[in-house]
A = this chain, B = another copy of it.
Amino acid sequence: MAKAENSVPAPAVRRLSLYLRQLEAFQSNNLQTVSSKQLGQALSLSDAQVRKDLAYFGQFGHPGVGYRVSELIERLRQILGTDRKTTAMLVGLGNLGHALMQYRGFNKKNFEIVAAFDKDPTKLGQAIPDRPAMTIQPMTEMLETVNHLNIKLGLICVPAEVAQDVADMMITAGVRGILNFAPISLKVGPNVVMSSVDLAVQLEQLAFQLSAMQNRATEPRQ
């Protein structure tokens, strides 16, 4: 019996994404079935860990066969919610915003950016490369567009100083998920889910690990 989804530990949910990614790689190599050991090895995890994580969500293995790759991919997509399309909008058409409009990974996960907004009047009405059906809209059209296109998710690509305002506007318009690329911590209510991508933070953490490693290498052994 699968547990309620909200009682599953976050690291297990995070590993589901890794399992799915690895299974997709196996599938593109024409592998039909896979054992928990094979799946674990490819990701430097134990087979017990793989079985335990998957057991939160149900019974997926077949005795003597292991997991059927295409079946497990389908089930994981259902569990993660990427088997259905999620409509999204993007606010802030700077360098990063434009790069994200080009990013094909969103479509692979069934996210579709259907609207783009910017407050810069010189950008309004501009076409977006590879997106013939879209133009950059003014912020004042957000509420109507979110309702009209049933937009569920908002991507924030504006400068830090205005990111909270944009988040508040998105939530007012009815968006319930935010992916924040602005380098600032945003506050959202309990009925909104948010994830942040801050490359600068990631770089800094890497710099810290690099220098910690170099310190270890040069310090005298105790």
Residues of chain A having any CB pair with chain B under 8 Å: 5-6, 13-14, 16-18, 20-22, 25, 42-44, 79-82, 86, 95-96, 98-99, 102-106, 108-111, 152-153, 160, 176-177, 179, 183-185, 187, 191, 193-195, 197-217
Provide the residues of chain B in CB contact with A207, threshold 8 Å.
80-82, 86, 109-111, 177
Cβ-defined contact, B177 with A193, below 8 A = no
Contacts of A22 in B (CB 8 A): 185
Determine the chain B residues whose CB is within 8 A of the CB of A108 once the complex forms. Answer: 200
CB of A204 within 8 A of CB of B103, answer no
How many copies of the shown chain assemble into the complex? 2
| A210/B96 in contact, CB under 8 A | no
Return chain B residues, CB-CB under 8 Å to A212.
5-6
A43 to B: closest C-beta gap in Å: 5
Are the C-beta atoms of B195 and A197 separated by less than 8 Å? no
Taking a contact as CB atoms under 8 Å apart, the answer to whether B18 and A201 are in contact is: yes
**The residue from B102, B191, B200, B204 contacting A95, defined by CB atoms under 8 A apart:** B102
How far is A208 from B21 in the complex, measured between Cα atoms in Å?
A: 15
- State whether B199 touches A160 (Cβ < 8 A): no
Please, which residues of chain B bring their CB within 8 A of the CB of A16?
A: 204, 208
